[in-house]
Amino acid sequence: MKKTFKLNIEGKHRDRVLEATKHEIRKYVKRQRRVPLPEGVDYWDFDCKFGTSAENATVVHFATITSLIDAVAQAGGDAFYLELLAKNGYRSAKAAGTGDTDQDQP
């Protein structure tokens, strides 16, 4: 998904447009995660870029998208650009001894 979302649409309340935008993004992510995984892939990961326009979009972590959208809305921005591209995700094994154990607790 590569799209510029407008937050100020004539005849529509800005807060409703903001919520509809977030809903569309969540719906896209859910749809992508339902796609069958290729052999050897653990999960779907996403490459994300966010900015006020496509030219100044920077790479961001997937978990920060909602807070970035809220920040643009709070600042009074008219629109934002979001790029979400699904990619293969591979889980890495945790290093030995890094897990939480009750034995370490007093």
What's the pLDDT tens digit per position in 25-54? 999 999 999 999 999 999 999 999 999 999
Number of domains in the chain: 1
Provide the domain limits for residue 44: 2-89
CA separation for the pair 46, 29 (Å, rounded): 9
Residue 102 pLDDT > 90? no
CB count in 10 Å sphere of residue 85: 12
Please report, for residues 51, 93, 95, 101, the alpha-carbon distance to residue 104 in angstroms, rounded to integers and kept in the order given: 44, 22, 17, 6
Residue 53 lies in a domain: yes
Read off the amino acid at residue 63.
Answer: A
Question: Is 21 part of any domain?
Answer: yes
Q: Tens digits of per-residue pLDDT, 67-95?
A: 999 999 999 999 999 999 999 999 988 87
Residue 30 belongs to a domain? yes
- pTM exceeds cut of 0.85: no
Whether residue 59 is contained in a domain is answered as yes
Q: What is the pLDDT of residues 2-31, one digit of tens each?
A: 999 999 999 999 999 999 999 999 999 999
Q: pLDDT-derived band of residue 97, with 50, 70 and 90 as boundaries?
A: low
